[in-house]
Amino acid sequence: MKITILGNSVSLRNRPVERYPDNKNYGMLLEEMLADKRVVTVSNKGIGRATIIDINQRIDDHINEFPDYYILNIGVCDAATRPIPLWFATIINNNKNSLLKSVFSSIYYRLIRDNSAFFVRFRGKNAWVSEKRFGREFEYLVSELSKDTNARILILSINKANDRVEKIVPGSGRNYEIYNSIMRNIADKYNQEYIDTTDMSDFEYYPDGTHFNITGNTEIASRLYKIIEGV
């Protein structure tokens, strides 16, 4: 069995960072759970800070995986309100050093980062990817994967925003609900599986408000395992 995960840092990270063996993400844990019965490979293609646009730019590579299952862990980077536009973030996160990066990084870390909520409101609580574009891009991804690979697609919702998230990027919680609704509707349209994680407590499962801890990663792996095994 082959499983491919497409997502952002939520599919990669374990927060807070733990020592081995408690530093595993849900992909690693799922592989271990399933390997009791068969040979299983879980290929995690998650990319930190990835939006649906970034995922779709690599669509051919994702199709060429030809897995039995895709797990989509997408949306939080698209939906969260932001103190800076995407083009600004792209400059300061560029791996190559440049004068432009130095100038913009200085502005961000000296002025914007510690005043994130103010700049989010100043920008009108805008997300990096609009609702309309997210819906269009997400449907394109699901339809292409379905059509070209016939794989089963398991779609994880965006975790419910907690007080920490709302304090830093106000308005994100409302966006998460809207974008989750978009993903649920597309999952229903293409007869794919939508997995709602909004029942999970941030205190127990994702204390930083976004990324799972080891308990959260174990819970997600368990939910995925039950769907794949039909139990």
> pLDDT digit string (tens) for 23-71?
999 999 999 999 987 899 999 999 999 999 999 999 999 999 999 999 9
Q: Which two tokens stand for residue 43?
A: 């290929």
Give the residue, 37 or 197, on which the prediction is more confident: 197
Q: Which residue segments constitute the domains of the chain, with CATH numbers given?
A: 2-81+127-229 (3.40.50.1110), 83-124 (no CATH)
pLDDT at 36: 82
- Neighbour tally for 129: CB within 10 Å: 23
Question: What is the Cα–Cα distance from 218 to 27, expressed in whole angstroms?
Answer: 9
Residue 209 has pLDDT above 80, yes or no: yes
**58, amino acid identity:** R
DSSP strands (E only) in 166-230: 193-195
Across 144-148, 159-163, 227-231, least confident range: 227-231
> pLDDT digit string (tens) for 86-125?
999 999 998 899 999 999 999 999 999 999 999 999 999 9
Question: What is the Cα–Cα distance from 83 to 196, expressed in whole angstroms?
Answer: 28
Beta bridge partners of residue 2, listed in sequence order: 41
Average pLDDT over residues 187-204: 98
Whole-number average pLDDT of the chain: 96
**What angle do the packed helices 131-149 and 172-189 form, to 10 degrees?**
30
- The CA R_g of the chain, rounded to the nearest whole Å, is 18
> pLDDT digit string (tens) for 154-192?
999 999 999 999 999 999 999 999 999 999 999 999 999
Task: Indicate the pairing of strand 41-44 with strand 2-7.
Answer: parallel
Smallest CA-to-CA distance from 212 within 75, 19, 24 is with 24
pLDDT at 20: 87
pLDDT at 229: 95
CB 175 within 8 A of CB 215: no
Residues 6+ away with beta carbon under 8 Å from 17: 23
Average pLDDT over residues 61-82: 98
- pTM given for the model: 0.95
